[in-house]
Amino acid sequence: MALTGNEVAAVNQQRRNEELTQSPVGGVLSSGATAAGAALAVATSLVAGGPPGLVLAGSVVAGMGIVDWFRKLGTSKVNENLEALGQATEDALNRVENVLKEHGTALDEIKKRLGSKELRNAMASASLQALRTTQKERLNRLALILANGVKNNDLSAERNDDMMRAAIELKDTDISMLGKLYQLWKDLLDRVERAKHAPSSSPNFHNEIQNVWHGFGRSLNPAEQLEYRGSFARLQSHGMIQQVTFSNNEIGREPYLLLQDGKKFYERLQEIATNAE
């Protein structure tokens, strides 16, 4: 006679209980071993004695407490990240305060910047972004963006949100490449900005751009071309650089120019040095 669905479930449950009681797994679970230890014991049992039945696999997962594991680990990491960000920000702001005093900034002005609503909003934005990483270096980037924003008295909400998102998403190799492009194009970018205020001069930078990029391209290791292109793509997606095309460019060799947002972002990531150092 065929068993009903409920009867099949009852038989499976009985088998599960018997197997857990008789196997090393049951002993591990009943002795209060950790979830990781229980999983290891199950794996060992399966390898040594063969699979006792599909129902066993379900019971092991249920006994691991995965939901609790994520909850506890998540809470722990959130607290760890926010503490690390808070300490890095406090250290950086202390240095900013010293720099501002060295440059003769009035104490009232320093208090105004440190107590501003803009800084509080920027700190809230940094806190949200801090939950997206497990890397301490990226938390330090957030702290430097905050501190340099206070130093420059520039805490635009939109700019800070964009910078902090980029600080978390960009790799170390991307930041390194941005630094190379900063050194390569900063002078030209400054001259382009000045030319905007003197349209009568209308300088043509095309030849200079092509020559500079040609020399830069030759300095890059061809074996790391894919890594470079990955960095270019990520930096461009964050509005830090832009690829430009000239009619006589070879495909795949178009220059990438530094943009103002990339320049400001790289400058915000720089360590804050005082005269005492």
> Is pLDDT larger for residue 122 or for residue 218?
122
Break the chain into its structural domains and give their ranges: 5-64, 68-169, 172-268
Q: What is the pLDDT of residue 250?
A: 57
* Euclidean distance between CA atoms 93 and 106, whole angstroms: 16
Mean pLDDT of the chain: 80
User: Would you place residue 246 in the very low, low, confident or very high pLDDT band (cuts 50, 70, 90)?
Assistant: confident
Q: What is the pLDDT of residue 4?
A: 54
Q: What is the pLDDT of residue 201?
A: 59
> Is pLDDT larger for residue 1 or for residue 233?
233
This prediction's pTM: 0.72
User: Would you place residue 73 in the very low, low, confident or very high pLDDT band (cuts 50, 70, 90)?
Assistant: confident
CB 167 within 8 A of CB 142: yes
Residue-wise pLDDT for 80-96, tens only, equals 999 999 999 999 999 99
Mean pLDDT computed over 248-276: 82
Least confident of 67-76, 112-121, 227-236: 67-76
SS3 270: coil
pLDDT greater than 60 at residue 258? yes
Residue 26, number of CB atoms within 10 A of its CB: 18
* Euclidean distance between CA atoms 132 and 80, whole angstroms: 12
Least confident of 28-32, 42-46, 72-76: 28-32
- The C-alpha torsion from 148 through 152 and 156 to 160, rounded to 10°, is -20
Least confident of 5-14, 80-89, 150-159, 175-184: 5-14
Residue-wise pLDDT for 135-169, tens only, equals 999 999 999 999 999 999 999 999 999 999 999 99
Rounded alpha-carbon distances, angstroms, from residue 42 to 11, 31, 37, 154, 209: 21, 14, 9, 57, 63
Residue-wise pLDDT for 106-133, tens only, equals 999 999 999 999 999 999 999 999 999 9
> Can you list the alpha helix ranges (DSSP code H) found in the chain?
5-22, 24-30, 35-49, 54-63, 66-102, 107-114, 117-130, 136-151, 157-169, 172-196, 206-219, 225-237, 260-268
User: Would you place residue 60 in the very low, low, confident or very high pLDDT band (cuts 50, 70, 90)?
Assistant: confident
pLDDT greater than 60 at residue 212? yes
Q: What is the pLDDT of residue 54?
A: 46
